[in-house]
Every structure is written in C-alpha cells, then in structure tokens.
Amino acid sequence: MALERNSKQNSEVQKIKGELTYEDRVLQKIIGIALSHIDGLLTVDGGFFSNLTDKIVNNDDVTDGVDVEVGKKQVAVDIDIIAEYGTDISKLYDDIKEKISSKVKAMTNLEVVEVNVNVSDIKTKKEHEKDSVSLQDRLTGNNDEEDQKKEKKEKKANSQPDRVH
C-alpha cells in the first residue's frame, strides 16, 4: 500500500511543470569540496591573481581554480592543480574524474561529460605548506609550525619539576 502511494505521489510530482537549474558557483563548490580529500592533490590552483591574494590573506574559497560549464543535463569541468611530488599523476587524474563525477551526479543528477585537468605545478608537501603561509599569517603569528613546536617543548620543559641532585 505504501509503495502504491509513493508511485502515485511521484507521478503527480512529475506532472508539475517547472525547471531546476544550478548556478555555476554551486557546481564549483560541490567539486571544490569533493576534491579536498584526494591523495596526491595538494591544491586546486586559482591562477596568478588568486595565488597572489592567497599570499596576502587567508583564502579558503573552494571554488578557486574550478571552472564549469553547466547545461540542463550535463557539466564540463576545467581545473588547474598542484600535484604532490612522487604521485602517479595519471592515477590522480582518474581519481579526480571519479570523485567529481560521483559527487555531481549524487547531488544534482547532472552528468559530467568532460573533466580537463591542467597540472600547473608539482611540489613536496613541505614546499606546499611553506608556500601556503600568507602575509596575514606571518603578521598574526599563525604561520610557523616550527614556532608552535618550540613553544610546546618549552611549555613541557617548564611544567616539569626540577630534579634535585
């Protein structure tokens, strides 16, 4: 009975006219967030001006470096990436295509018909972390992991009682 009611509701919903559309930025966000956890992908590269901005202030805009063309039923994607040194880049490309396609399909029911990836740079994780420190981080002191490690060691050393000989 419940199944019969659901199919009846679905047919009624399908009779309602209208159109579902997505702004480019919505797909850019879906893709940017989907790409945030892929091994070997250090970052999606937003290009010179975006990188310059990132050097000055912290910028966590997941849409940087993601360009899309959204149609009624299909999406094409262009991204520039920085890959981690030592990564099999052709496997990384396949992982990127799979992740983009599955997330876009699951969330929008749009078909990803094209994914173009340009590898704009390759870096070690250490190089990438160093390059990711912004001027804002430097001015506010939020930048150095080394400084934070030193502070932790100093606190630990200061919290231990002196030994009497």
What's the token pair of residue 158?
A: 């200061």
Q: Which domain holds residue 99?
A: 19-132
Q: Is residue 70 part of a domain?
A: yes
Report the distance separating Cα 79 and Cα 107, nearest Å: 20
Query: 81: domain CATH number?
Result: 3.30.70.1350
Inter-helix orientation angle 24-34/89-108, to 10°:
130
pLDDT of 105 > 80? The answer is yes
In-domain check, residue 125: yes
- Identify whether 12 is part of a domain: no
Section 75-86 average pLDDT: 96
Report H helices in the chain: 2-15, 24-34, 48-56, 89-108, 125-131, 135-140, 145-159
Q: 44 vs 115, which has greater pLDDT?
A: 115
Q: What does the pLDDT look like over 30-60, one tens digit per residue?
A: 999 999 889 999 999 854 333 443 444 444 5
Residue 46 within a domain? yes
Q: How many domains does the chain have?
A: 1
Whether 8 is in a domain gets the answer: no
